[in-house]
Each structure stands twice: as C-alpha cells, then as structure tokens.
C-alpha cells in the first residue's frame, strides 16, 4: 500500500521539477521573512533570484544547530505568533533547547508525512498502535500520534515510562504496532520474557522504531523477542521531528519525503557535495511555513540511493544512520562509530541486548572499554567459558575496529535501560 501515490511514485523528473519550484519559493520566503537568512544572503551577495536550478542550492550557506540556539527562542520563525499553533523543542546536551514552531499547514504536512511512512512500514487503519514516546516538547509522541490518527489507526497514547504497565496495555488492548526507540523495544522484549509473558500473548506485527541509531542486528533481536517486523524511521526536530523518512517492507533504506525535505550528502570536512557514498546529510525544508530551514547540517552520516525500489515508490532512500559526525570516537588515531561495536556484539548469540562503551585515557593512552551484558547468567559460573567468550568478543571487535579493546562481561539485566534515546558512550577523556 502507498499512502499518497501521486507524491510517492512520481517520476524523478517530475520530482525534480516540483522540488525546484518549491525551493525557489521557500528561498524567497525565508529571505523576505527571516532576518537571519536575509543577512546571510546579503553578506555573500546572493539573491533569491540567483536560485535557478536545483544545483544552485549549493550557493546557499549552511544552517547549523548553533544558529537555532543563537536565535533562541523564536529568531528563525517566519510567522507571527497568531499563526503558530504548536511549539516543540529539542533538549540539547548543554544549555538552551532548540525551539521549533509549527503553523496549521505545517502540522497538516507533518501528519501526511507520518501517515506515508507508517503505511510504507505496513500499517493501516486496522492497526492498534501503542506509542511509547514521551508526549511533550519532544517531537516523537505527538508527531507519530497525529500521523497515525490521520491514517485512521487506533492510537494508544501510552507515552513513556512504567514498562510493566506498557506490557499489560500491549497485551490487553491488543496492540498490533509499537512505536518507540529500538533500545526501549528491546528492553520491553527482555522484560516481557522476565515477567513470563509468551510471544503469543501479544498481537504485535509491526515495530516503528526511530529517534536513535540502530543496527540490523539489534532490529533482529527485537523481532525475535517481540515477534514483529522491525522498521526504522528517521527525523529531527529542527526539520520537523519524525517523518523525514522511513523504511518500506523491502529493507532497501528509508524513503525520504523529498517533496517536503530536500536531501544532500556532503563531505563533513570540506562541505563539498558528494554524489556517491557516505557523508553528512543536509536537509532543506521545501514547504515549511513556521520555521523554514535552508541546508541544515544534521551531522548524521548516511548515503542516498536513487535506484527504483521494488515497493513502487520512486522517492530517494537514505541508508540507516551510520553514526553522527560528533559521535565518532577517535581512539589512538582510529575513527570508530559506536554502531560498528553494536553490529559485532549483537551478532553474537551469547550476548544480551545491552552494552556500554567507555573511553578513558591512562598514561597518555586511549583505552576503549566495552561493557557487555550476557544473555545467560549461568555462564558466570564457569570461568573458562567466560574467559573464552571475552577473548572471542575482543577478537571480533579487533577484526572490525582494528584496535584492541578491554571487554568486561556483566550480568544479564545489570546495565542501565532507557525509556527514550539510549546513552551508550561515555567519553572520560575530556
């Protein structure tokens, strides 16, 4: 099923024409309504009328997270408050949050984008969907909620927290789809096992997971535990929230709603556009009224696929996020993404779903320590087996990372669980 055939199956040429028309319009709009953009354009002598082709987008300066923070709270807004109907914010790691405002039309477009991605993931109006994202300033809860309602699904706005109750609701209300972060879904799966639920107690068919990085291996673990098909969807508050892109059932990358969000991949060091391979995703909102964003550097590392997909959608797809350029760990000169570690660990049957990465410096030397939760506590009773497993993990990690690690095995269910985005890395070097 395709939610909006017209938008999701147009030819590449039609899409290009639509994007150009919208790009010209949004650039003019941003220039006229937002002083921040006007100043940036004027500084380099760029006029909205200079944008004549899609390629001309390269002439527009990038927007970065600190631009939103520097203009806190409403500096990048293009409309007066009487046109604003919703305000969300993303909590940064430090200081003030970044604020995003939505007009009625923005909320309408947002719901449409979510409806498209949940249908692509296999949901319909027949589904009963439990949303375990927080309802609040975070965009996850409300974003998914209104899109699913638009589709006509039955929404259970469970919000985050109280995991035992989540499982009870899931069973009693007959939830067929689950919305959460992948790490929380995995935790719910573990907890269900611990509390003695059988997979057949639940009617789950589809997992709509997003808001944090995941690997195919962790998705597989969730599928095994909860008996559903795990799908990935991506987005960020600055651009809209969830709804930028999502998986179809062919597992070929996440289809981008590119009639609303124009993607580019750049070299994260030089800013140059890459036509092939991995780089930093840059997004431009093509239709957003409340807070148009031109060429936003997401810091998320991915690549784009333009070939047709077997599902019939013609929209460009993005690969799962390999990591964030600011998550990348430089250890003894080697670049490492936490997702590489996760792939190795989750591919090993003896290991449970949780791990933590700690980076330290001892005697001027970087140490990469990996805390790994065992699946089965009985292993702890046999020192020889434990030692052999530790050596195997070290070896497998070294094959992928090229550096040595310190592996610590810990008891099942002993590492911290998160209801939202999991925090896997602690870097103690700075």
What is the binding site for ligand DLL (CB under 6 A)?
A: 90, 133, 139-140, 210-213, 232-237, 241-242, 298, 300, 321, 324
Q: Which is nearer to ligand DLL, 223 or 366 (CB)?
A: 223
419 and 375 in contact (C-beta within 8 Å)?
no
Report the residue number, 98 or 176, with the smaller CB distance to ligand DLL: 98
Q: Which helix (H) or strand (E) holds 205?
A: none
| Spatial separation of the C-alpha atoms in residues 66 and 330, rounded to whole Å | 23
User: To the nearest whole angstrom, how small is the minimum distance from the Cβ of residue 347 to ligand DLL?
Assistant: 19
Least gap, CB of 187 to ligand DLL (angstroms): 16
- Burial label for 172, CB within 10 Å (0-12, 13-18, 19+), is exposed
**87 and 238 in contact (C-beta within 8 Å)?**
no
- Cβ closer to ligand DLL: 237 or 405? 237
Nearest CB to ligand DLL, comparing residues 141 and 292: 141
**Max CA distance (Å), the chain:** 72
Nearer to ligand DLL, 40 or 145 (CB): 145
Q: What is the rounded distance in angstroms from the CA atom of residue 430 to the CA atom of residue 425?
A: 13
Tell me how far apart the alpha carbons of residues 352 and 348 are, in angstroms, rounded to a whole number.
9
**CA atoms 141, 143, 149, 154: torsion sign:** negative
**Cβ at position 237, least distance to ligand DLL in Å:** 3
| The two three-digit tokens of residue 199, written as one number | 């997979």
Asked if 235 and 242 touch (Cβ cutoff 8 Å), the reply is yes
Q: CB 320 → ligand DLL: shortest distance, Å?
A: 6
Burial class (CB in 10 A: 0-12, 13-18, 19+), 85: middle
Distance from the first to the final alpha carbon of the chain: 50
Quick check: helix, strand or coil at residue 142? helix
Query: Cβ atoms within 10 A of the Cβ of 45, count?
Result: 7
The SS3 assignment for 67 reads helix
As measured in angstroms, the least distance from the Cβ of 232 to ligand DLL is: 5
Adjacent-strand bridge partners of 264: 282
Give residues with Cβ within 8 angstroms of 44, minimum separation 6: 61
Rounded to the nearest whole angstrom, what is the least distance from the CB of residue 255 to ligand DLL in the complex?
13
Contact 310, 255 (CB under 8 A): no
- Which of 47, 96 has the CB closer to ligand DLL? 96
Which one, 38 or 324, has the nearer CB to ligand DLL?
324
For residue 265, give the H/E element and its range. strand 261-266
For the bound state, the minimum distance from the C-beta of residue 128 to ligand DLL, rounded and expressed in Å, comes to: 19
Lookup result for tokens 């395709």: 2
Q: Among residues 242 and 263, whose Cβ is nearest to ligand DLL? A: 242
Minimum distance from CB of 146 to ligand DLL (Å)? 13
Nearest residue to ligand DLL on Cβ basis? 210
- Residue 323 in 3-state DSSP? strand
Q: Which residue has the tokens 């007009």?
A: 103
**Which residue, 329 or 389, is less far from ligand DLL as judged by CB?**
329
Q: Closer to ligand DLL at the Cβ: 122 or 140?
A: 140
At its nearest, how many Å lie between ligand DLL and the CB of residue 412? 26
């Amino acid at each position: 099923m395709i939610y909006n055939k017209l938008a999701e199956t147009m030819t590449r040429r039609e899409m290009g024409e639509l994007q150009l028309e919208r790009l010209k319009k949004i650039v003019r709009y941003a220039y006229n309504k937002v002083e921040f953009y006007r100043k940036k354009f004027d500084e380099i002598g760029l006029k909205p009328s200079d944008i004549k082709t899609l390629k001309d987008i390269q002439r527009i300066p990038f927007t970065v997270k600190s631009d939103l923070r520097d203009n806190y709270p409403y500096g990048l807004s293009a409309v007066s408050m009487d046109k604003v109907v919703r305000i969300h914010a993303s909590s940064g790691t430090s200081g003030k949050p970044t604020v995003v405002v939505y007009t009625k039309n923005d909320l309408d477009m947002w719901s449409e984008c979510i409806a498209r991605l949940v249908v692509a993931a296999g949901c319909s109006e027949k589904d009963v969907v439990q949303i375990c994202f927080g309802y609040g300033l975070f965009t996850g809860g409300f974003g998914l909620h209104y899109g699913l309602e638009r589709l006509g699904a039955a929404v259970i706005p469970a919000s985050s927290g109280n995991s035992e109750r989540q499982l009870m609701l899931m069973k009693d209300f007959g939830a067929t789809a689950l919305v959460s972060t992948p790490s929380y879904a995995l935790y719910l799966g573990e907890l269900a096992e611990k509390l003695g639920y059988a997979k057949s107690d639940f009617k789950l068919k589809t997992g709509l997971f997003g808001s944090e990085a995941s690997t195919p291996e962790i998705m597989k673990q969730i599928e095994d535990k909860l008996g559903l098909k795990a799908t990935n969807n991506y987005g960020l508050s600055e651009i809209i929230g969830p709804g930028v892109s999502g998986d179809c059932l062919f597992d070929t990358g996440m289809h981008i709603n590119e009639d609303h969000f124009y993607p580019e991949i750049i070299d994260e060091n030089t800013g140059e556009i890459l036509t092939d391979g991995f780089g930093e995703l840059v997004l431009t909102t093509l239709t957003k009224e409340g807070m148009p964003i031109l060429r936003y550097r997401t810091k998320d590392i991915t690549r784009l696929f333009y070939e047709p997909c077997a599902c019939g959608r013609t929209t460009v797809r993005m690969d799962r996020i390999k990591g964030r350029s600011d998550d990348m760990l430089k250890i003894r000169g080697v670049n490492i993404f936490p997702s590489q570690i996760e792939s190795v660990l989750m591919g090993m049957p003896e290991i449970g779903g949780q791990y933590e990465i700690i980076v330290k410096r001892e005697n001027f030397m970087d140490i990469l320590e990996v805390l790994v939760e065992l699946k089965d506590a009985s292993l702890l009773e046999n020192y020889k087996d434990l030692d052999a497993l530790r050596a195997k993990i070290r070896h497998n990690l070294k094959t992928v990372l090229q550096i040595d690690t310190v592996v610590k095995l810990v008891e099942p269910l002993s590492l911290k669980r998160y209801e939202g985005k999991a925090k896997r890395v602690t870097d103690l070097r700075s």
